Amino acid sequence: MKNIIKIPMLVAPIFFLSTFFTSAAFAQQGWVPEKSGTSNNLYAVSFPDTMTAYVVGAGGAILKSTDGGVTWTSQTSGTTQSLLGITFTNVDTGTVVGGGGTILHTTNGGVTWLKQTSGTGTNLRAVSFFHGNNGMAVGDGGTILYTSDGGTTWNRQNSGVTNKLTGVSSVNDSTWVAVGVGTPFGGSSGEAPVLRTTNAGSTWNQVTNIYRLQTRQLETLNAVSFRSNLGLAAGYSEGQTGLTGPIEFITSDGGASWNEKSEGASLHGCSYAEASAWYAVGYPGMIVRNGAVQTLGRANQYATLNAVAFANGAKGIVLAGNTILRTTDGGIAPPYAPALAVPANGTTNSPTNPSFKSTDSCWVTGSRIQISPDSSFLSVVYDTSHGPGAYGSVQVYQAQGLAQGTTYYWRVRTSNAYGNSPWSQVWHFTTQGNPDLAVYDSTLQSPWTDVSWGASVTYTDSNAISVNADAWGALSLLDGSWSTQDSVNPSMYTSFNFSFMGTQEFGVFLQTDSGQSLPCVDTTLTESGWVNVSIPVSQLDPNGTKFSRLTFQSDEASAYRFYVRDLRFVGLGQSSKAFRQLSPLAGVGTEVPKSFSLAQNYPNPFNPTTTIDYQIRNPSHVSLTVYDVLGRVVQTLVNTNQQAGSYSVSFNASGLASGVYLYRLIAGDHIFLKKMMLVK
């Protein structure tokens, strides 16, 4: 009848963001973040030559670099006022302005900073020098100060406005342009001032052709920069819709006339690097080069860029909070490869829908992740792209549909307006094995439907099946119907495990959806208690054929009785779960109870599961039902004939509300009723 393969009885189964990159990690490519060594916000920068740079900020902070912005050292300013503007005419001679009318001057590269007399207590926000001695400083209340002796004396000039002036720059020795913040719209006082002098400040005139943008109510210009007659002013405007957009104005005639170049967000600083390259920076994380957005970071770590300065067309510095960003190629290079973070390299038991995280190596406009079952990525199973990110931002990807028990390789690359980064290093991870497939559970809500063949089947408790078979009877468990596609793939499982109680030879075999019987594996048991059995799927199904029926059948041509429980196929990649040591069933090597009884559930109160024990003295039809306090049936836990014995049933109330419930046992003529409390 069967193709029988004899194997030894298996009495006991075999169970089976790092830290951010240092500057050395970056070659001279793109925008590179460097640590400033201060927690103070930094507001202004001067880059007098390709190796020497200075920045100033809150709390009187002054920092200097002599290696092009890679490393920075703090200098003693002698003040705690916020320093808001800085300019150097050479690597040694510079002037700083700030809160409360502060003016500091050095002629020895910042070894010493000497305080100069400004003659004002208002905040000074910007300063500019033409060559060595002629300088302008501007600030609140329309303040303009001029010096022709390197700052030994500063004289106030008549600006003609009371606005806050935020930027000043020289065209030549006699021509200067200052910009500032407008007041609420309402006539000429509503526009941001653009002031120009052609006689070193003896008279200042407002430039009017920069105003009157069609949809604008308010304009603010935060900075201005000139390289000879070429100039750039940067700020923002508020339209009638209330939305803000960046403003860049370009001039080629020394500020006499201006043209608007771009719109988008708010700009806080600008620099005319060379005749063919000009930059503006601002919010959110925006760098604009020649009127086009160069890189756009999310508004997080570098939400606002305060200032920018270039030593030449390639070497530049941007201030972002207390972080200093530098470039040696004008920021026009593709980004560096990102760093992989999660899952860690070599991770095992990963879910099949894992999250992936990587850290951008520099500001990017997009990123891409690939996942492959081979390290060469010849076959890619997941490939997706993301939008913009900023340096230090974590990109998160969510993969779906990965196979279980499989090793995968993954990598990420980023991109900006100038190209793609190299791919990151390749990491690997292994997904968790296929979950065990339960062949039978207490409610038969597994993929398997009970079908008995020539046998009487009863469910003696919540876990076990009792089989009374005739001479060639069997217990047969079927998945689906015979007309549907096979639903169990043997390649996903390592073994078939179960617990058995009986004292005869029996066989276990699988069948396909078309009724084909696969090889039978026979065992002989002589124990009278529960034995845990494990049979490799490769022996039950050596050709890897999909199957849908599982059958237990005795090789003895006589009636017999046996019990099975805890039937499951162990998932591929899982370590075989240690079997529960099951208690013998009533009526098989156990003492018959002396009475009928219903125990109090335990635990009680419970959430959400509890156990109910009862005893049956004589074979009886048993009903165990749960009710609510209104007498409505909540769930029938047992409704079958049972042999004498002790039983234990689990009740899961996860879908019920907190409260008092009743449970009633009817066994023959005996009726018991008890209360239990669900507390969530």
DSSP for 99-160, written as a single string: GGG-EEEESSTTSS-EEE--S--SPEEEEEEETTTEEEEEEGGG-EEEESSTTSS-EEE--S
Residue 546's pLDDT band, with cuts at 50, 70 and 90, is: confident
Query: In the predicted model, is pLDDT for residue 511 greater than 90?
Result: no
pLDDT number for residue 13: 31
Domain assignment present for 137: yes
Do 563 and 452 share a structural domain?
Answer: yes
Q: What is the mean pLDDT of residues 7-29?
A: 33
Please tell me what DSSP assigns to residue 488: B
Do 181 and 50 share a structural domain?
Answer: yes
> How far apart (Å, rounded) are the C-alpha atoms in residues 347 and 105?
58
Q: How many CB atoms lie within 10 A of CB 309?
A: 27
Q: Do the beta carbons of residue 664 and residue 672 sit within 8 Å?
A: yes
> Structure tokens of 404?
């279980």
Residue 446's pLDDT band, with cuts at 50, 70 and 90, is: low
> Structure tokens of 382?
């997941």
Residue 285's pLDDT band, with cuts at 50, 70 and 90, is: confident
Query: In the predicted model, is pLDDT for residue 186 greater than 60?
Result: no
* Least confident piece of the model among 105-119, 180-194, 435-449: 180-194
CATH code, 92: 2.130.10.10
Tally helices (H) and strands (E) across the chain: 1, 54
CA nearest 160: which of 232, 210, 208?
208
Query: In the predicted model, is pLDDT for residue 16 greater than 70?
Result: no
Cα 203 from chain centre: 58
pLDDT number for residue 8: 34
Q: Do the beta carbons of residue 234 and residue 247 sit within 8 Å?
A: yes
CA distances in angstroms from 322 to 43, 95, 408, listed in the order given: 9, 21, 40
Q: Do the beta carbons of residue 247 and residue 169 sit within 8 Å?
A: no
Element (H, E) at 537: helix 537-540
Query: In the predicted model, is pLDDT for residue 214 greater than 90?
Result: no
Q: What is the mean pLDDT of residues 354-372?
A: 83
- The DSSP result for 300-327, as a single string, is STT----EEEESSSS-EEEEETTEEEEE
| Positive/negative CA dihedral, 553, 555, 559, 560 | negative
Q: What is the mean pLDDT of residues 406-432?
A: 89
pLDDT number for residue 363: 62
Q: Which domain holds residue 175?
A: 30-327
Domain assignment present for 333: no
pLDDT number for residue 55: 97
Please tell me what DSSP assigns to residue 174: S
* Cis-peptide, bond into residue 338, ω within 30° of zero: no
> How far apart (Å, rounded) are the C-alpha atoms in residues 300 and 200?
42
Do 318 and 424 share a structural domain?
Answer: no
Domain assignment present for 39: yes
Cα 286 from chain centre: 23
Domain assignment present for 67: yes
> How far apart (Å, rounded) are the C-alpha atoms in residues 308 and 157?
27
Q: Give the model confidence (pLDDT) of 303-359 as tens digits.
A: 678 999 999 988 999 998 888 989 888 877 787 788 899 999 999 888 888 899 888
What b/e sequence results for 267-296 when a residue is b if at least 16 CB atoms lie within 10 Å of its CB, and e otherwise? Answer: bbbbbbbeeebbbbbbbbbbbbbbeebbbb
CA distances in angstroms from 198 to 195, 203, 204, 562, listed in the order given: 10, 8, 8, 109
Q: What is the mean pLDDT of residues 90-114?
A: 96
Q: What are phi and psi of 362, to 5 degrees?
A: -160, 175
CA nearest 74: which of 26, 114, 40?
40
Q: Total domain count for the chain?
A: 4
Domain assignment present for 107: yes
pLDDT number for residue 485: 55
CA nearest 103: which of 120, 93, 92?
120
What b/e sequence results for 418-434 when a residue is b if at least 16 CB atoms lie within 10 Å of its CB, and e otherwise? Answer: bebbeebebbebbbbbb
Query: In the predicted model, is pLDDT for residue 9 greater than 60?
Result: no
CATH code, 369: 2.60.40.10
Query: In the predicted model, is pLDDT for residue 580 greater than 70?
Result: no
pLDDT number for residue 402: 87
Q: What are phi and psi of 604, to 5 degrees?
A: -155, 120
Residue 479, C-beta contacts closer than 8 angstroms, at least 6 positions apart: 447, 448, 449, 487, 488, 548, 549
Do 345 and 206 share a structural domain?
Answer: no
Residue 119's pLDDT band, with cuts at 50, 70 and 90, is: very high
Do 278 and 129 share a structural domain?
Answer: yes
Cα 6 from chain centre: 54
pLDDT number for residue 438: 81
What does the angle CA 257 – CA 258 – CA 263 come to, to the nearest 5 degrees?
170
pLDDT number for residue 356: 92
pLDDT number for residue 75: 96
Domain assignment present for 483: yes
pLDDT number for residue 88: 95
Q: Do the beta carbons of residue 317 and residue 52 sit within 8 Å?
A: no
pLDDT number for residue 590: 44
Residue 462's pLDDT band, with cuts at 50, 70 and 90, is: low
> How far apart (Å, rounded) are the C-alpha atoms in residues 217 and 238?
6
pLDDT number for residue 28: 46
Query: In the predicted model, is pLDDT for residue 1 greater than 60?
Result: no
**Where among 409, 431, 453 does a domain terminate?**
431
Query: In the predicted model, is pLDDT for residue 136 greater than 80?
Result: yes
Do 503 and 420 share a structural domain?
Answer: no
Do 369 and 253 share a structural domain?
Answer: no
> How far apart (Å, rounded) are the C-alpha atoms in residues 309 and 306?
11
CATH code, 607: 2.60.40.1930
Q: How many CB atoms lie within 10 A of CB 379?
A: 8
* Least confident piece of the model among 246-250, 489-493, 618-622, 657-661: 246-250
The mean pLDDT value of the chain amounts to: 80
> How far apart (Å, rounded) are the C-alpha atoms in residues 385 and 396?
11
Domain assignment present for 18: no
* Least confident piece of the model among 96-100, 219-223, 296-300, 558-562: 296-300
Query: In the predicted model, is pLDDT for residue 96 greater than 60?
Result: yes
Do 372 and 511 share a structural domain?
Answer: no
Query: In the predicted model, is pLDDT for residue 5 greater than 80?
Result: no
> How far apart (Å, rounded) are the C-alpha atoms in residues 534 and 9?
9
Element (H, E) at 49: none
Please tell me what DSSP assigns to residue 653: -
Do 223 and 127 share a structural domain?
Answer: yes
If DSSP codes are grouped into helix, strand and coil, which group holds residue 400?
A: coil
pLDDT number for residue 484: 57
**Where among 371, 403, 431 does a domain terminate?**
431
Domain assignment present for 562: yes
pLDDT number for residue 557: 64
> How far apart (Å, rounded) are the C-alpha atoms in residues 395 and 386?
8
* Least confident piece of the model among 12-26, 297-311, 592-606: 12-26
Better-scored residue on pLDDT, 554 or 534: 534
pLDDT number for residue 198: 96
**Where among 553, 571, 589 does a domain terminate?**
571
Query: In the predicted model, is pLDDT for residue 297 greater than 70?
Result: no
Do 385 and 316 share a structural domain?
Answer: no
Q: Give the model confidence (pLDDT) of 138-169 as tens digits.
A: 999 999 999 999 999 999 999 999 989 999 99
- Bridge partners, 461 (sequence order): none
> Structure tokens of 68?
């092009």
Q: What's the full length of the chain, in residues?
A: 680
> Structure tokens of 466?
């009792």
> How far apart (Å, rounded) are the C-alpha atoms in residues 406 and 492?
11
pLDDT number for residue 555: 67
Q: Give the model confidence (pLDDT) of 484-497 as tens digits.
A: 556 788 888 888 88
Do 174 and 53 share a structural domain?
Answer: yes
What does the angle CA 270 – CA 272 – CA 277 come to, to the nearest 5 degrees?
110
CATH code, 503: 2.60.120.430
Dihedral angle of Cα 512, 517, 523, 527, to the nearest 10 degrees: 60
Tracing tokens 């836990």 back to the chain, one arrives at 637
Do 409 and 541 share a structural domain?
Answer: no
- Percent of the chain whose predicted confidence (pLDDT) is above 90: 34
Better-scored residue on pLDDT, 379 or 7: 379
pLDDT number for residue 563: 85
